[in-house]
A and B are shown apart, each in its own frame.
Chain A
Amino acid sequence: MKLKLHTQPEVPLEAESITPDVLNKLKPKEVEKVKLFHGNREVNLGDFFNVSKSKLDLLEVEGDMFKIKYIGANMSSGEILINGNIGPHLGSAMTGGFIKVNGDAGDWIAPEMSGGRIHITGNGGHCIASAYRGASTGVSGGEIIIEGNVKNELGHGMSNATIIVGGMCGDFTGVNLNSGTILTFGEMGIRTGAGMKRGTIICMDNLEILPTFSYDCLYSPIYLKLFFRYIRDKTKIKFDEKFIDGKFHRWSGDAIEMNRGELLVFSA
């Protein structure tokens, strides 16, 4: 199925019906009548998108969709290919499947995700894979790859998931991290890993270490050799081969919590 945006919404369009789970069972005419919310008004999908049958066994969505929210929400299987920029809450609460975005993504990508993969070739906004305000756990599984930069609070309260960022991160990356892995190739903002309990934050560039972290050692984790090879095979992120066999400083923290998390910082 292929959806092409023909009318730019004036206010955010909530499009949680745009998932393979809902649309793949329908014919194009039926897809046009699927309900979305334009602000607080119920509208038909066809009011904003042209619908056509695609030969590919995936859901293609095309257009500049920075005002369109919740695409891929609750998705459990299948594949969405988004050509263009996408708005907030992409892949909200998804449990499986794969979303590829050839463009930039907005804020609050993948809240409450528990499985599946999201791959963004451009930049991401604030609070990607973050817990909602007041929640102790946000994302609880899956994998998110952002080839560009991201803003603040990446992976706030995350558990078990994996995030790879090709560029820079804003402040509070991995704040209150429960478990899982965040790897960034660019510079990270302040207070990285504040309040983290377990989990791993890997940084290849400058990183300001909080005083509640304690230094362990300089070593070459075999795990990172596997991880870098995986990134090289799965993404177009260009990185220096020296990282693969490089040495990393290991810091443990955060001492104000369980002190079982780790920061792995590349040693130049």
Chain B
Amino acid sequence: MKIKNTQIVDTYAEAFLMWSAEVIITAENDDWALAAAQAMTGFATSVIGCKCEAGINQKLSAKDTPDGRPGYSVLVFTIDKESLAKRLIERIGQCVMTCPTTACFSGYDDAEEFINVGGALRYFGDGYQISKKINNIRFWRIPVFDGEFIIHENFGVKKSVGGGNFYILGEDSKSTLKAVKDAIDKMKQIQGVILPFPNGAVRSGSKIGSKYKKLIASTNHIYCPTLKGVIKDSLVPENVHTCLEVVIDAVSEEKVIEAMKVGINAASQDGIIQITAGNFDGKLGQYKIFLKDLI
């Protein structure tokens, strides 16, 4: 299979079930809203080491936010619903409530399950917090130095999909970086999708387990060009000298597929020898996304 001159390997990406929440952060202006959104989504590349994966979903204009101020939609993913509540309480408490002028709202309008976030953060108000209901939805007003921090009591959560991925194998670093950048720029336009790694790309793609018993993940050595001559099972073609991975979390399997399709098409360009995907023989997740279905 080929797109232009790039070979598409007949394999599949292995994705898995996650839980997600959409957090709407608003502020007096875009600068403060972005500062809070960036702080909240920092150190959230992988559940392996960060306990959650998070990213900015989209920028919101004033007419699209609950309080009519500019804002950002942030998506946060975890392995289970209980830990999602903990992560939201930590991250909103430390990164959003602390940021001047911000407010924080639950984003999913169609969620059927909810977790208590504002109802836990309210205790920061030390008894001076005020509860308010609008349209039968409870908010908390917590007194802070510049007035009040307002937050929904409950945040909607959904079953979602994490770990969608594809690998870009290029003839050199320059062409691979360009391809990954082109793919990411296109994928970022899709709502309901985040690419949690730096600029959306991963150079340290991982496999399950390690020769060291304490590690649950280690470098996916078969895609490391420096080991091509050392290991027998290397999957790096002879004319490939750089590999990069794109990891996708999304609100649904359909969104992961849409993002992968867009990304693979954009990344298939001069200097890219092969595009493949990471899977672990079905040991990691419930979703198999075949590359042949995306082209």
Contacts and interface: CB of A to CB of B under 8 A. Distances in A.
A220 B148 CA distance: 9
A137 to B, nearest CB: 17
Nearest to B131: A179
Interface stretch (B62-70, B173-181, B190-198, B231-239): B62-70
A123 interface: no
Given A226-B67, A229-B68, A221 B148 contact: yes
A230 B68 contact: no
Bin the interface of chain B by size. Answer: 10 to 19
Chief secondary structure at chain A's binding surface: mixed
A44 B66 CA distance: 49
A227 B131 CA distance: 13
Interface string A164-185: 0000000000000001010000
A219 interface: yes
Contacts of A221: 141, 147-148
A230 B147 CA distance: 21
Contact of B150 (A198, A200, A226, A262): A226
Chief secondary structure at chain B's binding surface: strand
Question: Which of A181, A198, A226 has the most C-beta atoms of chain B within 10 angstroms of its own C-beta?
Answer: A226
A21 B122 CA distance: 38
Interface string B137-162: 00101000001101000000000000
B134 A230 contact: yes
A140 interface: no
B139 A226 contact: yes
24 contacts: A143-B136, A162-B134, A198-B130, A200-B130, A200-B132, A219-B147, A219-B148, A220-B147, A221-B141, A221-B148, A222-B147, A222-B150, A223-B139, A225-B67, A225-B69, A226-B66, A226-B139, A226-B150, A227-B132, A227-B134, A229-B66, A229-B68, A244-B68, A262-B130
9 cross-chain pairs, A with B, having the tightest CB-CB distances, nearest first? A225-B67, A219-B147, A222-B150, A222-B103, A230-B134, A223-B150, A226-B67, A222-B67, A223-B141
Interface of B: 66-69, 103, 130-136, 139, 141, 147-148, 150
